[in-house]
Amino acid sequence: MPQEILLSVKDLRTDFYSSKTSFVTAIQDVSFDIYRGEILGLVGESGCGKSVTSLSIMQLLKDTPGKIANGSAVLDGVNLIGASDAVIRDIRGGKMSMIFQEPMSALNPAMRIDKQMIETICLHQDLSKEQALAHAAEMLKKVGIPDPSRILKNYPHQLSGGMSQRVMIAMALSNDPKLLIADEPTTALDVTIQAQILDLMKKLQKEANSSILLITHDLGVVAEMCTRVIVMYAGKIVEMAPVEKLFANPSHPYTQGLIASVPKLGSGVKVLPSIPGSVPDLASMPSGCRFAPRCKYATDQCRTQEPQLVEIAKDQKCRCWLTQGE
């Protein structure tokens, strides 16, 4: 069955300026599609560009030193990059919304929950204030908040971490978005609360047949939630594959190292295989393959020539000379 593409990102590149003329490139050559009704995982370590990718798609780099230098991101026929503020405002929070890592800092601390939710709803739907309030209460109920009318009257500081993340999710979903970008939605939460929230996100995604771009560093979360996975390293996509394939048969040495270095519950190992060295500095990227200095398979070709992201099997792409020969 051919899948319908919801969002198509092509050749995205974002630079961060430290002065008028000097900049570092945070992400480069980022191209991927998100299909309707899928959960796409985006994994990588800190500084690999996963959050910059999501902020670039959401057009949230306006007041930062970040600037999109190249590329397009087409959602339902509209190119988000370079679109006017009015168009973006209409899409953001409506067709496409976002959940952040820190629910506490993403909510406005000086505004009651009801006001914040009504604001979002009224911006995108033609409802009266009373109707919007009823809708807000309904959304809170959906995300498993037992007493919506009480929570609505609270300020964010009166809520626990798990509770405020639920409020964030309710708010993000209140306008039936087609695409939800979740940037480390459960990283700040405890495991038992994380299990609740992930369970909830999956259920709501299925109900609405919407798509989620799930950004995380936790491979356990990826395995549990996603249909396909993108692995990023030092600002570039290094591998893209369906989740079963990625875990059973990772092709890029970085993906292999990443999967091997995660302790698995019940595996009984005492010493983990680890990737030597650390992530390169954005300002001084190695020439050739960016992973070459840490890669045990690196050859002279890897150190001088940069590999491209090419299809190595059906649905699987990899940026590595080893998988593509000469």
Residues that bind other proteins (CB under 8 A): 45-46, 160-163, 190-196, 198-199, 217-224, 226, 243-244, 247-248, 257-259, 261-266, 269-276, 278-279
Cβ distance to other proteins smaller for residue 58 or 184:
184
- Nearest approach in angstroms of CB 187 to other proteins is 11
- Per DSSP bridges, beta strands 66-75 and 211-216 are unpaired
Cβ distance to other proteins smaller for residue 254 or 321:
254
Cβ distance to other proteins smaller for residue 5 or 193:
193
Cβ distance to other proteins smaller for residue 7 or 189:
189
- Nearest approach in angstroms of CB 97 to other proteins is 24
- Nearest approach in angstroms of CB 193 to other proteins is 7
CA atoms of 212 and 131, how far apart (whole Å)? 27
- Nearest approach in angstroms of CB 150 to other proteins is 14
CA atoms of 212 and 39, how far apart (whole Å)? 5
CA atoms of 180 and 322, how far apart (whole Å)? 35
DSSP string, 149-205: HHHHTS-GGGS-HHHHHHHHHHHHHTT--SEEEEESTTTTS-HHHHHHHHHHHHHHH
CB distance 52 to 15 below 8 Å: no
| C-alpha pair distances (Å), 287 with each of 293, 304, 307 | 10, 6, 11
Residue that is written with structure tokens 């649905």 in the block: 315
- Nearest approach in angstroms of CB 126 to other proteins is 36
Residue that is written with structure tokens 């091997």 in the block: 260
| Tokens found for residue 165 | 């993340």
Q: How many CB atoms lie within 10 A of CB 83?
A: 16
Cβ distance to other proteins smaller for residue 112 or 245:
245
- Nearest approach in angstroms of CB 294 to other proteins is 8
- Nearest approach in angstroms of CB 236 to other proteins is 17
Cβ distance to other proteins smaller for residue 111 or 248:
248
- Per DSSP bridges, beta strands 179-183 and 236-242 are unpaired
Cβ distance to other proteins smaller for residue 110 or 269:
269
Reduce the DSSP state of residue 115 to 3 states and report it. helix
Element (H, E) at 233: strand 228-233
- Nearest approach in angstroms of CB 263 to other proteins is 4
Which residues contact residue 127 at a Cβ distance below 8 angstroms, ignoring those fewer than 6 apart?
Answer: 121, 135
CA atoms of 273 and 263, how far apart (whole Å)? 10
Cβ distance to other proteins smaller for residue 261 or 308:
261
Element (H, E) at 190: none
Reduce the DSSP state of residue 103 to 3 states and report it. helix
- Nearest approach in angstroms of CB 62 to other proteins is 29
Cβ distance to other proteins smaller for residue 80 or 243:
243
